[in-house]
Amino acid sequence: MALLTLADAKAQLNLTSDAEDAELQVYVEAVTEVVEFFIGPVEPRQVTEQHDAGGGRPVLVLRTSPVLSVTSVGPVLTGGVTYPVDGLAVDPLTGQVRRRDGGWFCGLLEVVVQAGRASVSPTINLAARMLVQHLWRTQRAGRRGAIAGGGDDYSVSEPIPGLGYAVPYRVLELLQPYRLPPGVA
């Protein structure tokens, strides 16, 4: 499952030739990282995190969400406790992991999860298409027959920390319902 395919991007840009496929593929790959900056992993992937539960904690809060499943929770060092995944409850959006028996986690733990989304919503796909369109248009400004970037809802008047002016408001508005809760990332 991909957030955006080359065929999706070509359809959004009304491109029928293969002449610019290599360049456009770079845009397709870059857009995934930008979208995931706002909403967390989209394309499923395995993530390994270490958590120090010290002398005991009732909950582990993963740094990566959304979470599809927990694969394993075990000690980083030999001799620690391994927690069976069927005995864990996971909040997919916040990444909170609790023991179903009410017990606490202890020690330095390695948590392996499958992060991402089970499917890409049409809204997230549309946001990615529009972001490719925006970046493609601004890159081509000034070329014969090209439409200059910016203007209307493609405007970006204030930079986004870490991304500058790359993401137009219309894309941010589409991603808003999928944004991670504060403190999750």
Query: Per residue, what are the HEC states of 126-162?
Result: HHHHHHHHHHHHHHCCCCCCCCCCCCHHHCCCCCECC
Cα–Cα distance, 129 to 131 (Å, whole number): 5
Please write the tens of the pLDDT for every residue from 51-89: 999 889 999 999 999 999 999 999 998 788 899 999 999
19 phi and psi angles, rounded to 5 deg: -60, -35
Q: Tell me the percentage of the chain whose pLDDT exceeds 90.
A: 69
Residue 108 · residue 76 · CB < 8 Å = yes
Query: Angle 6-13/21-39 helices, nearest 10 degrees?
Result: 100
Q: Tell me the percentage of the chain whose pLDDT exceeds 70.
A: 83
What's this model's pTM, rounded to 2 decimal places? 0.78
Per-residue confidence (pLDDT) for residue 164, from 0 to 100: 60
69 phi and psi angles, rounded to 5 deg: -165, 160
**Whether residue 160 has pLDDT greater than 80:** no
Please write the tens of the pLDDT for every residue from 125-158: 999 999 999 999 877 665 544 444 444 445 555 6
- The average confidence (pLDDT) of the chain is 86
**Whether residue 106 has pLDDT greater than 70:** yes
**Whether residue 121 has pLDDT greater than 60:** yes
Residue 2 · residue 43 · CB < 8 Å = yes
Per-residue confidence (pLDDT) for residue 40, from 0 to 100: 92
Per-residue confidence (pLDDT) for residue 168, from 0 to 100: 87
Q: Which of 129, 168, 140 is nearest to 152 (CA)?
A: 168
A 10 A CB-CB count for 30 gives 14
**Whether residue 27 has pLDDT greater than 70:** yes
Q: What are the angstrom distances between the C-alpha of 87 and each of 63, 77, 97, 100?
A: 21, 21, 10, 5
Domain ranges of the chain: 6-41+119-178, 45-115
